[in-house]
Structure 1
Amino acid sequence: MPYSVAVRALCEFSARRGDLDLRFTPTPSAQEGIAGHQLVAGRRGPGYETEIALRGEFEQLLVRGRADGYDPVRNRLEEIKTHRGDLARQPANHRHLHWAQAKVYGWLLCQARGLGELDLALVYFDIASQQETSFVETHSAASLREFFEDRCRDFLAWAAQEQAHREARDQGLAALAFPHPSFRAGQRELAAAVYKGAATGRCVLAQAPTGIGKTVGTIFSILKAVAPCALDKVFYLTAKSTGRQLALDAAAQLGRGAAAPRLRVVELTARDKACEHRDKACHGDSCPLARGFYDRLPAARSEALAAGFLDAAALREVARRHEVCPYYLAQEASRWADIVVGDYNYYFDGSAMLHTMTLVHEWRVGVLADEAHNLVERARAMYSAELDQASLRAARTSAPVAIRKALDKVNRGWTALRKAQAEADGALDLLPAAFLAALKQAGSALEAHFAEAAPGAADGPLQDAWFDILGFLRLAESFGSHSVLEFADEAAGSRKPSARIRIQNLIPAPFLKPRFAGARTVTLFSATLSPPRYAMDMLGLPEDTAWVDVESPFGPEQLRVQVVSRISTRYADRQRSAAPIARLIAEQFGAHAGNYLAFFSSFDYLEMVASEFRRRHPEVPVWTQARGMDEGQRKAFLDRFVPGGTGVAFAVLGGSFGEGIDLRGDRLVGAFVATLGMPQVNPRNEQLKARLEGVFGAGYDYAYLYPGLQKVVQAAGRVIRTQEDRGVVYLIDDRFARPAVRELLPAWWRISRAPNLPQARPRISEEMAPSASSK
C-alpha cells in the first residue's frame, strides 16, 4: 500500500530552506485567501477549471492534491497565492516553495491528461489593490516528471520510515493491552463509548466521575480505534497544565514494555513558555535559533521523532542540541506525531493550528477534550473581542499622518457610538454603520502602511492597534444572536473621554460546530456535564451525539454529604453567615481532625470567614488562596496537604483548587462548599440569561444554575479519589435542599440534612489540635 502525502506537505518537506522569519508582514486571512482565489478564477474564460483533483505515484509514494486553476485554451496551470504589499519583499525561499508546488501539480496534470508540455504560472493576487502579478514558465512533461521524481526521492526515505512506523504502530496497537490488571468500575463503559464514537464517526458526551481513570481509559480506547478506523492522529486537549501532565503520563504508561507500540507523543506549550530568547525577535537577524532553522530542521526532526516521547523538556533538549527553536520544532513534530497533547485553543480557537493542519492535510483525527465543562467559558473568550478608545488614541501618537487621519475618524466615531448607546437605553444591539466604516478605513490605512514598511519594522502600539481592529472587525462581520455588545464609558464628560466596546460571545456553538465537523470523532468528558442538553446547545454538538452517564465506582458509605440549610450564603446574608460557618468548620474539625478545604464564592467572602475562624481557633493551621498566585505559590498551597496532616485551607470555588487537583488518601478528608457557585448577578449575566431564554427557553438554568452546580460538584469531587477514601462534604445553603438542585447532584451521593448546629466550644481541645491523626 503506497504512503500517501499531499503536494503541499511533499514540497514543504523537500523545498524549505533558510531562516525561520516571523517578522511581521501583512498576510491575508483564510477567508480573504479564498475570496481572492475566487475573484481570480472569475476573471478567467468560461472553460477555466478550478480545484482540479490530481494524484500520482512514484514507487511506494502516492502524491495527491488540488491544483488551483487550469486554462485549457492557453494550456496554462496556475498556482494562485494571495498577498499584501510589495512582492519584492517576499523571501526567496517562499517563491522557491511556490514554484515547487506548481511544478509538482504540473507533472500530475500532464500525466493525467497526456500533455507533452505545459505553461506554469505563479499568480500573485494583492488583496488590497486586487491586482495580479504573474510569473510564467514553459516546461516539458519530461522536465516536470524529473522534478516530481526528484522531490519524491527526497521524501521517499522519510516516507518509508513513516510507513514502517505506522505499520508497526498499528500492529502494536492491535495487540495493546490495558496497562492494569482490570478496568475500574465505570472505566470500561467510558472506554467502550470512546471506541464506538470513533467506529461510527460520532461525537460523544461522557459524564464520568472522578477516580475511574478517565485519562488512561480514553487514550487507551482511542488508540485501539486508530487502525480499524484509519485515524491519523489523536489530539488530547485540556483546560489546564495539570491535565496535560496526566495525559502525558498515561501515554508514557501505554508505551512502556518491549511489546508496547512505538508511539510518538508531542506536547504543545505556549510560545512564551517555550521561547529560549524572549528578548529577541523571531527571525535570523535577531535570534540564533531562527537563523538557518530550516537547514537544521531535518536532523532535529529525525532525532525528535526517533525519541518518540516529546514532552516540553524533551523537545527543549533536542532543540538545544540542534540549535533550533523548540516552539516551532514542536509544531513540526506534531505533523508526524501519533498523539498531540495541548490546550483547547490549539483545536477550538478561531485560528487553531491543529484544526488548520487537519483540514490542510486531510487528516482523520480523534479528539479527546478533558474537563469539558470548562469549554463553554473558554470558547466564549476565544470568540470575543474588545476595542479600547484610549489604546487607539495612544497608538495615534506614533502614527504617520495618513493613519492619524484615519484614527481621528475612528475617534470621532466613538461619539456616534455613545449616542447610539444612549438611544438604545444602554442595550446596544447593532454597531453604527459609520463606526464600522471608520474602523474598516483605519484597518485599510494600517494595512497599506505595514505592506510598505520594511519587514519587522512595525511599531508595537500601532501593530497592536491593527490587530485589535482586525480581530474586532472579524467578529463584527459574524455578529449575531450568539453574541452581545457591551459598551463602557469610563470618562464621560472629560476632555479626553475613554470608552470600550466589546463583542462578547454568549453562545459559542456556531463557532465550534466546524471544529466538531472537522474531526472523525470528538469525545468530551468530565465529571460534571449534566444535563447533557446544556452542553449540546452551548457547544453546538451534532444532534446524533451519544450521551453516556458512567456509573460511579464509589459507594454512598464513602462520602457523607450533608446540607446545612440553616445558613444562607446569599450576598445579603454573608456578613452574618461568617460566624456560623466558622463554627461548623470547627465542629467538624473537632470531631475528626484532618485536612479540609473550604470553598467560597469570592476572595472577600473567603477572607471574611477565614478571619473569623482564625480569631476563634488560632490553634488550627489555616492557609488561604490569594489573588494572582503563580505556579510556585499554588504548589506551596497544595504541598501543605500532607498525609496525616491537619488544618483548614480556604479557596475560591471555580479557581485553581476547585478542580484538577488530586489529594488522595488522608491528604484531604473533607470539604465545605459555602455557595451554590452561581455567577454574580450583573448586567452581562442578566443579558446572558435573557438571550439564553430567548434561544433555548432556559435562561436562568443555563446562565446561573448549571454552571454554578458544576463548580460545586467539581469541588466536592476533590474528597473521594480512590476506593479506599472516606470523607465528608458540607453543602452550606438552604437552596441545596431544593428538589431541582438535588436532581443535578451526583446520583450516588446519599444526602442528609445536617442537624442544628450546637453552640461552638471556646477552643478546640488539645487532643483534636494539629498534631492529631486523620481519618
Structure 2
Amino acid sequence: MVKFPYKEFRIGQKEIAKVIESEVPRGRLVLIQAPTGFGKTVAVLYGLCKALGRLGRVIYVVRTRNEISPVIKELKNLKVDYTFLYSSKKMCPLVRVGGLSFEDFWLTCRLLRARGLCRYFTRLSSISKDYVRDVVRRHSPDYVVVVNALANVGVCPYFALSTLVSEADFIVATYPYFFKEDIFMSAFSDIGYEELTVVVDEAHTLINPSSIYDEELSLRNIHEAINEVMEYIPHSKYVIDFLSNLITKLINMPKSKYLRHIPKDRLIEDPDMVDQVVDAALEIKLRLLKGFNYNVSKLMNLRTRITRVASVLNLALKEGFEVFYYSKGLENRIKVLPIDFRVISRGLRLVHGGVLLSGTLPPKDFFEKVLGLDNVGQYLDVEESYGYVFPPENKVTIVVTSVTSSYTRRSDLMYGKYAKYLELTYRYVDKVTLAIYPSYDFMRNIINHLPKDINMVIEEEGTTLSEVIEEVMKKGKCLINAVASGKLSEGIEITSKGSSLIEAVFIAGVPYPQPDDYVEELMKGLRKYLTHEESWDFVFNVTASVRVKQALGRALRYPTDRAIYVLADNRFMMPRMRQLLKLKYNKVIRDIGTYEETLRILKKFFL
C-alpha cells in the first residue's frame, strides 16, 4: 500500500490526489493549476501511485533535464520503480565537444551501434536490469550522478536507463520524448501512446507550439553542407545544385527582423531532393567512418552540417509545419515551425488519461478547442478550491492606465512615460525590481530613457539564468529588464535566507505575441476549427495572460514574501484580460504623482 511520504498533507494535496485517483483511470485528462509552494508534484504522483493497478505506464514529462531531479526525488520517497531519460547526446560518454546537433549525433550513434563499434553500447549485455535499477535508486535524485555512475562502469547511460522502460511504473523524461513523435517512437518502440498515462509539467508551455518545435538553418550552415558534399561525394551534383539554389533564394529575399512566411513549394520545388540530401548525409558519415579508420571518438565529435540541413528540410515537408525566414545581421535564416496546435497535441489525444499541471494554466476551453482534446476531466484551481498557498494580502496589484504598449501609440513620449514609472518603482523598492517587456525593441527603447545611475541587468538573447543571479547577488538592489516568455520571465528565482529578493514586478505593456507571419499562420490554422474571434482570443489574449502570470509568479516564492505587481497598460482594464488574470486590482492609477504617493505608502506600511 502506497503511503504519503510526508508527515501531513498540505491544504488541497489529499483532495487533488483523490481526484487523480478517480478520474485518470477512467481515461480523463485532469487539469491542475497550483502555485509554487503547493507541492503539486508529490500530490499528483501520490494520486497516480494509488491508482497504478488501473493505469497504463506513467510518463511524466518536464521541459528541461534540470526539472527531472525534483520528480525522481518524490518517486524515490514513494518507493515505486522509475527510470528517466533526457538528451542521449548529453548522456553520451563519447561526446567531448559543444555545438554538435542532435541529428548529427544520433546518425553517428546509429551507425556505430549497427556496426558494433560503440564499446559503451556493446557492454550493456554485461550488466543486468537489477544493477541499473540499483544505480538509479542509490544515486537519485541527482540525475547527473546516476549518468556518471553508469558511464564509469563502461556502459551507455542512455540505453542502460532505457532498459528499465518496459518494467518501470514511472518514466520521467524531457518534452521531446513525448511531444516529438519520431523521438517517441525511437525511445519507446514497443509502447504506443494508448498504453501510457501522461503527466505534463508546466503545461502552459502548450500555448506556444514553437516551444516544442523550433528548427533553424543559417546561410552558413547550408554553405558548410555544400562544402561537405563537394569534399566527400563530389559526384552528387544534384544535391550541390539544390542546396546552392536554396542559398540563392534566401539571399534574394528582402531583409526582415520579423518572421516572414515562405511557401514550401517556392523554397523546395522538388520534395524528392530532400530525400537525396538525407541520403547524402548518411553517405558522408560512412565515408568519414572509413576515413578515420573507425576511430569512434573522433567521428562522434566531428560536426557535419549536412545532417542538420537534411533534418530541417525533412521537417519542413511534414503536414502542420511551415517555413519562415528572418534576418539576423546581414544574413537571412530559415525557421521551420508548427502552425497547427494539433501537431503537438497528438500524443495527448491518444493516451490513456493523465494530468496537465502548471502554476499558470490556460483556461479549460484552450485544451478542448485549440488542442482538440475530447477527454478533458476536471479543471482544478487549487487556490480557488482549497485555499491560498500565499496569503492574498501579501501582494498589491496596481494598474497604470496612462501608458500602453499598443503599436499605434508607441513613441518617444510613451517610452519616456514608461521610464518615469519604472524609475520610481526602482527608487522605492529596496531589493530587486523585475521589469517585463513585450519585446526586445520595446525594452531597449524604454531603457534608453532611464537614468544612468540605476543598477541594471539586461536580458540578451544569450543570457543565462545563472549569469543573472550571479550579477544580482553582486549588485544587490537592481532593476532586471527581461522579455515576456523568455528565460528570465519564466525561470528566474532569486532568493536568500528563505525569502524572495524580487519585491516588485513591473509589466511594461500587454505582452501580446509579435504580429508577424508566424502568428498569422497560427491564426489561419486555428480558423479550421474556430471563429476568427476565438482564434484571436486564444493566440493573443490567452497567451498574454499566461505570460503575465508567469512573470508575476517570479516574486512570491515563500509564504512570508510580499510583492508589488504593476500592470502598466490601460488594456489591463479590459474585461477579458481581467477575467483571464483573476487578479484583484487594489488601485488604478492615471498619473505619475498618485503613483509616487502610492509607492511611498507601500514602502512605509507594506514592504
Sort the TM-score into its range (normalised by shorter chain). 0.7 to 0.9
Matches of 1:382 and 1:733, distance apart in 2: 31
Among 400, 407, 411, which residue is 2:233 paired with? Answer: 400
Q: 1:742 aligns with which of 554, 572, 578?
A: 578
Aligned pairs for 1:550-569 (under 5 A) are 550-552=382-384, 553=388, 554=390, 556-569=392-405
Determine the structure 2 residue equivalent to 1:753. 588
Aligned match of 2:154: 323
CA separation of 1:470/1:317 partners in 2, compared to 1, >3 Å: closer, same or farther? closer
Question: 3-state DSSP class of the match of 2:238?
Answer: helix
Q: Please state if 1:534 is matched with 2:333.
A: no
Could you tell me how far apart the structure 2 residues matched to 1:674 and 1:189 are? 38
Matches within 5 A, 1:165-204: 171=1, 173=2, 176-177=3-4, 179-184=6-11, 186-204=12-30
Partner of 1:270: 87
Letter in 1 for 2:28: R
* Shift of residue 734, structure 1, vs aligned partner: 1.1
Alignment of 1:227-376 (within 5 A): 227=53, 229-232=54-57, 234-252=58-76, 255=77, 261-279=78-96, 283=112, 289-290=120-121, 292-296=123-127, 300-301=131-132, 303-305=134-136, 307=138, 309=140, 311-353=142-184, 356-357=187-188, 359-360=190-191, 364-376=195-207
RMSD of aligned C-alpha atoms?
Answer: 4.3
- SS in structure 1 opposite 2:506? strand
**Aligned letter for 1:508?**
F
* Partners of 1:528 and 1:710 within 8 A in 2: yes
Distance in 1 (CA, whole Å) between partners of 2:372 and 2:66 is 27
- Secondary structure of the residue aligned to 1:367 is strand
Counterpart position of 1:677? 511
Q: Can you give the 5+ residue segments of structure 1 that lack an aligned partner in the other structure? A: 1-170, 256-260, 493-497
Match of 2:170, as an amino acid? Answer: I
CA drift of 1:509 comes to 0.7
Is 1:224 the counterpart of 2:50? The answer is yes
Cα deviation 1:681-725 (Å, max 9, x = unaligned): 223223333443454223322332221221111111223344433
Which residue is equivalent to 2:270? 435
Question: Could you tell me the percent identity over the aligned residues?
Answer: 18
Following superposition, the deviation at residue 297 of structure 1 comes to 5.8
| Superposed counterparts of 1:683-698, under 5 Å | 683-697=517-531, 698=534
Q: Secondary structure at the match of 1:744?
A: helix
Q: How far apart are the structure 1 equivalents of 2:160 and 2:302?
A: 29
Quote the offset at 1:655 in angstroms: 1.7
Change (3 A) 1:426 1:611: closer
Counterpart secondary structure, 2:355: strand
Which SS does the other structure have where 1:569 is aligned?
coil
Relative to structure 1, the CA distance from residue 713 to residue 312 in structure 2 (aligned partners, 3 Å threshold; closer, same or farther) is same
Aligned to 1:575: 412
* SS across alignment from 1:623: strand
Q: Within 1, Cα distance between the matches of 2:72 and 2:471?
A: 24
Aligned-pair CA distance for 1:774? 8.7
**Offset at 1:445?**
6.1
Deviation at 1:405, TM superposition (A): 3.5
**8 Å contact from structure 2 (residues 324, 335) kept in 1:** yes
Q: Counterparts of 2:42 and 2:527 in 1: how far apart (Å)?
A: 38
Q: Which of 353, 356, 360 is equivalent to 1:524?
A: 356
Alignment partners' CA distance in 1, 2:67 and 2:411: 34
The residue that corresponds to 1:595 in the other structure is 432
Residue 179 of structure 1 aligns to which amino acid in structure 2?
Y
Secondary structure class of the residue paired with 1:198:
helix
- Give the C-alpha shift of residue 332 in structure 1: 3.0
Alpha-carbon displacement from aligned partner over 1:289-348 (angstroms, at most 9, x marks no partner): 456343346685254256373532331342254222333333334444333323111211
Whichever of the two has the greater Rg, that structure is 1
Structure 1 residue 188, shift from structure 2 partner: 4.2
Query: 3-state DSSP class of the match of 2:236?
Result: helix
Cα shift at 1:733: 0.8
- 1: CA distance between counterparts of 2:279 and 2:141? 42
Task: Write the distance in 2 (CA, Å) between the matches of 1:418 and 1:589.
Answer: 45
Q: What SS is found at the alignment partner of 2:580?
A: coil
Once the two structures are TM-superposed, the CA of residue 369 in structure 1 deviates from its matched residue by 0.8
Distance 1:558 1:436 in 2: 58
Are the aligned partners of 1:237 and 1:367 in contact in 2 as well (CA < 8 Å)? yes
The one-letter amino acid of 2:351's match is: A
Provide the residue aligned with 1:506 in structure 2: 339
Q: 1:472 to 1:511 in 2, by over 3 A?
A: farther
Distance 2:447 2:193 in 1: 55
For residues 238 and 712 of structure 1, the distance between their equivalents in structure 2, rounded to whole angstroms, comes to 21
Residues 544 and 704 of structure 1, relative CA distance in 2, 3 Å threshold: closer
> Structure 2 vs 1, CA of residues 430 and 703 (structure 1 numbering), >3 Å: closer, same or farther?
farther
> Conserved in 1, the CA contact under 8 Å of 2:41 and 2:74?
yes
Q: 1:724 aligns with which of 513, 537, 560?
A: 560
* Cα distance change, pair 240–420 in 1 and its aligned pair in 2 (3 A): closer
Aligned residue in 2 for 1:665: 499
Q: 1:191 to 1:659 in 2, by over 3 A?
A: farther
Alpha carbons of structure 1 residues 300 and 601: separation in structure 2 relative to 1, 3 Å: same
Find the aligned partners of 2:280 and 2:425 in 1 and give their Cα distance. 66
Distance 1:720 1:696, change over 3 A: same
Q: How far 1:590 moved relative to its partner? A: 5.0
Structure 2 residue identity aligned to 1:655:
G
| Worse overlay, 447-456 or 564-573 | 447-456
- Secondary structure, in 3 states, of the residue corresponding to 2:522? helix
Note if contact 1:197-1:523 (Cα within 8 Å) is conserved in structure 2. Answer: no
Range 452-461 or range 400-409, more displaced: 452-461
Shift in Å at residue 678 of structure 1?
A: 1.1
Q: Deviations over 1:584-612 (max 9, x none)?
A: 34444555533322222334443554464
> Contact conserved, 1:251 with 1:265, CA < 8 A, in 2?
yes
Report the Cα distance in structure 1 between the residues aligned to 2:205 and 2:169, rounded to whole angstroms: 25
Out of 306, 309, 313, the residue aligned to residue 472 of structure 1 is 313
TM-score, normalised by the number of residues in structure 1: 0.63
CA distance in 1, matches of 2:62, 2:283: 39
Instruction: Give CA-to-partner distance per residue, 1:231-265, whole Å, 9 cap, x none.
Output: 43x3221223453343244335xx1xxxxx53344
Alignment CA distance shift 1:199-1:590 (3 Å): same
| SS at structure 2 position matched to 1:654 | coil
Contact 2:204/2:358, CA 8 A, preserved across alignment: yes
Q: Which residue of 2 aligns with 1:699?
A: 535
Give CA-to-partner distance per residue, 1:656-676, whole Å, 9 cap, x none.
Answer: 221244456352322111121
Residue number in structure 1 paired with 2:100: none
Distance 1:199 1:613, change over 3 A: same
Q: Provide the residue aligned with 2:32 in structure 1.
A: 206
Structure 2 length normalisation: TM-score? Answer: 0.78
> What amino acid is the match of 2:271?
L
> How far apart are 1:732 and its partner, in Å?
0.5
Contact persistence 1:614–1:622 (CA under 8 A): no
**1:368, 1:522 within 8 Å by CA — same for their partners in 2?**
yes
Structure 2: any 5+ residue segments left out of the alignment?
98-107, 255-259
Q: Is the 8 A contact 2:316 2:323 kept in 1?
A: no
Counterpart AA for 1:278: V
1:484 and 2:311 correspond = no
Q: Counterpart amino acid of 2:24?
A: A
Q: Distance in 2 between matches of 1:449 and 1:277?
A: 20
Instruction: Choose between structure 1 and 2 for higher RCO, CA contacts under 8 A separated by at least 6 residues.
Output: 2
Tell me which moved more, 439-448 or 402-411.
Answer: 439-448
Who is 1:58 aligned against? Answer: none
